[in-house]
Amino acid sequence: MSFPKFLVADNTDSPDAIFIVHTEFPAFILNLENDEVKWLDDISDENEGDLTKALEGLISEAEDFYQREVDRYNL
């Protein structure tokens, strides 16, 4: 089964939080309520400089994805 690059998630235990799940490497969950990131893959072996730039880009993509989804619901 293949998954989209990003998924929107929520949970009734955290009613104010909206989560974006990145399903590709490096997989992570971004909590849009407080910008906390939980890494699901081990990224400790990656080059720190390259990784930082890539991760900033992925988090920005995740936020853009969420905004696009919200805009589509509001049509």
CB-CB neighbours of 1 under 10 Å: 2
* Global pTM value: 0.86
**Residue-wise pLDDT tens digits, 40-71:** 988 877 677 777 888 889 999 999 999 999 99
Q: Nearest Cα to 35, choosing from 55, 12, 19, 49?
A: 19
Q: What percent of the chain has pLDDT over 90?
A: 68
